[in-house]
Each structure stands twice: as structure tokens, then as C-alpha cells.
Amino acid sequence: MIEKATIRHVIFDVDGTMINPHEGLIECVKATIKKLNFKMLDDEVLNSFIGPPIQNSFQKYYNLSDDEAKKARDIFRGFYQKDEYLFKAYVYDGIVDLLKYFKKNNIKTGIATYKREDYAIKLLEHFDLAKYCNSICGSDFENKLSKTDIIKNCMKNLDIDNSKDAVMIGDTAFDGFASKELGMNFICCTYGFGFKTQDEIDKYQNVFVANNARELLKFFC
């Protein structure tokens, strides 16, 4: 178990961890599906599009080639880059207080998200969260970076030499797997869009499981 007093770096995922983007993002997924004349997916499957690279989800559920998946991704981006969709989201209760606590206690805060980096910066600035972040790292334009790569970029920006000196907070298996691969402590958020069963949660090196963002605040404070 990690000693909370020794934590000096915290790395967050965004979607499903800090911010709930469900309404705007799913509207864009549906609009993309309609534009491509694909069969509409049920709500549970649509929710699984939140978190992973968007082209991977289209490829998975519609058996698309790489080029077809990239086309779907580009159509999606055409919708999602508009403020009316990107900003149709909300910050989870407790996140702002947690970020204020980290800032007050000189705990460096980083972002490592599969969301395209320019979108992540724009979204965090819109909700006035960027000012609490020492580093914001996201996906590249071609979605070539793995979650491990993105976390490594964030670690470099935060001058983290040893992954044990940081904690990753996320809501999906991508976050958990990358943390495990890097030997980093992981806090699992079940209030997001990824973890559904106890078996899924138990696969990773969890130092804490948060059922809502307020529980994160209790853990650290």
C-alpha cells in the first residue's frame, strides 16, 4: 500500500475520471454512424466508445479496415471539434476541490488522456481546470500513441524518473494496464465508463477504488 504522505505526482485520465463527456461525445458517435449509414448500436455499446481511441471502437464494432476506421475517425472529429459538442460535458463533483488540494500541497498534477491533446487542452481550459495542471498530454493526430506512451510523455514533463513516485487515476482497462506495465500505482475509478465487474478491477495494482470523485478527495485528504 502506498504511503499517501509520499505522493508528490498525480496523473489523471480525463473522460470518465475528471469530466463526464457522455452527452456531447455520444451525439457525435451517433452522427458519425448515421453519416456512414451504419446500423445504430445499443446504448451499452455506444458508451464503450468513451475512453479508447475512437477509430479503434469503430473498427471493433463495424469490422472496418484501417482506412475505413480512419475515415470514421475523421468524420467523428468533424463533429466533435465543434464547441457545441466538446463542451457538452460536466466536471465530476469533487474534482475541483481535489485539484485545489494538490496545488496547495505542491503535488504536481499531470494529464494523460486518449483524447486528442488539443481537444483535452481546450476542454480543460473551458472548465477552468488547466490552471491546476503541470502537464497535459494526449493522443496524437493519428492515434499512434499507446496509453503507456502518453503516460511516459507526462512523466517526462513532470520530471518523474521513477514510476513509483506517481499515482495514475483512471476509469478504464487502458489506464490500469498502462500503470501495471510501468509499475505505477493505480487508483481505479468505477464511476466512469470502463470498469464494470470486480474481476476487471482486480486485474490491476489498485491502491484504491473510488466509486465517486468525492471518494478520491477522502483518500488523499
pLDDT digits (tens, 9 = 90+) for 153-175: 999 999 999 998 899 999 999 99
Question: H-type helices in 63-146, by residue range?
Answer: 66-80, 83-86, 95-104, 117-126
Residue 62 phi/psi, 5° resolution? -120, 10
Query: In this structure, are strands 19-20 and 90-91 parallel, antiparallel, or unpaired?
Result: antiparallel
Helix or strand (DSSP H, E) at 185: strand 185-189
Q: What is the pTM for the complete model shown?
A: 0.93
Cα dihedral sign for 145, 146, 150, 153?
Answer: negative
pLDDT at 32 over 70: yes
Share of the chain above pLDDT 70, in %: 98
pLDDT at 89 over 80: yes
Residue 7: per-residue pLDDT? 86
In sequence order, what are the residues at sequence separation of 6 or more whose Cβ sits closer than 8 angstroms to the Cβ of residue 138? 111, 112, 113, 114, 115, 116, 117, 118, 119, 120, 121, 150
Chain mean position to CA 178: 12
pLDDT tens per residue across span 171-202: 999 999 999 999 999 999 999 988 888 888 88
Domains of the chain by start residue, with CATH: 4-20+90-220 (3.40.50.1000), 22-86 (1.10.150.240)
Question: Under DSSP, is residue 141 helix (H, G, I), strand (E, B) or coil?
Answer: coil
pLDDT tens per residue across span 120-138: 999 999 999 999 999 999 9
Q: pLDDT higher for 4 or 119?
A: 119
